[in-house]
Structure 1
Amino acid sequence: MEQLNNVKDFLTEAGIHNPTIGIVLGTGLHQLLNFIDIKKTIPYTDIPGFPVSTVEFHKGNFIYGTIANKNIVVMQGRFHVYEGHSMEQIIFPIRVMKLLGVQTLFLSNAAGGINLNFKKGDLVLIDDHINLQTGNPLTGKNFDELGARFPDMSEPYTPSLKKLLQQKAGELNIELKEGVYAAVNGPNLETKAEYRYLKIIGADLVGMSTVPEVIAANHMQLPCAAISVITDECDPDNLKPVNIAEIIKAAGKADEKLSRLLYLAILSL
Structure 2
Amino acid sequence: MLAKIQETAAWIKSHTTLRPTTAIVLGTGLGRLAEEIEVIETFPYADIPNFPVSTVEGHSGCLIFGRLGGKEVLAMQGRFHYYEGYSMKEVTFPVRVMYELGIQTLFVSNASGGTNEGFKIGDIMFITDHINFFPEHPLRGKNFPTGPRFPDMSEAYDRGLLDLARTIAKEKGIAHVEGVYVGTSGPTFETPAEYKMYRVLGGDAVGMSTVPEVIVARHCGIRVFGISIITDLGVEGKIVEVSHEEVQKAANAVQPLMADIMREMICRSC
Q: 1:265 to 1:203 in 2, by over 3 A?
A: same
Structure 2 CA distance for aligned equivalents of residues 226 and 78 of structure 1:
14
DSSP-derived class of the 2:41 partner: strand
Structure 1 CA distance for aligned equivalents of residues 198 and 245 of structure 2:
24
Q: Which residue of 2 aligns with 1:64?
A: 65
1:202 aligns with 2:206: no
1:141 aligns with 2:142: yes
Deviations 1:7-45 (A, max 9, x none): 000000111531111000011113432332111100000
DSSP-derived class of the 1:227 partner: strand
Deviations 1:35-62 (A, max 9, x none): 3211110000001111111112211000
Residue pair 1:162, 1:225 contacting (<8 A) in 2 also = yes
Shift of 1:155: 0.9
Residue pair 1:32, 1:263 contacting (<8 A) in 2 also = no
Q: Which residue of 2 aligns with 1:132?
A: 133
Structure 1 CA distance for aligned equivalents of residues 34 and 202 of structure 2:
34
Structure 1 CA distance for aligned equivalents of residues 33 and 172 of structure 2:
16
Structure 2 CA distance for aligned equivalents of residues 259 and 5 of structure 1:
31
Gaps (5+ residues) in structure 1?
none
1:245 aligns with 2:230: no
Q: Which residue of 1 aligns with 2:255?
A: 255
DSSP-derived class of the 1:189 partner: coil
Aligned letter for 1:199?
R
Structure 2 CA distance for aligned equivalents of residues 68 and 196 of structure 1:
40
DSSP-derived class of the 1:209 partner: coil
Aligned letter for 2:12?
L
Structure 2 CA distance for aligned equivalents of residues 168 and 196 of structure 1:
33
1:23 aligns with 2:24: yes
Q: Which residue of 1 aligns with 2:266?
A: 266
Percent identity over paired residues: 46
Structure 1 CA distance for aligned equivalents of residues 18 and 256 of structure 2:
28
Structure 2 CA distance for aligned equivalents of residues 124 and 252 of structure 1:
15
Aligned residue-pair number: 268
Aligned letter for 2:131?
I
Q: Which residue of 1 aligns with 2:108?
A: 107
DSSP-derived class of the 1:224 partner: strand
Residue pair 1:32, 1:260 contacting (<8 A) in 2 also = no
Aligned letter for 2:104?
Q
Structure 2 CA distance for aligned equivalents of residues 155 and 149 of structure 1:
17
TM-score, normalised on structure 1?
0.97
Shift of 1:196: 1.1
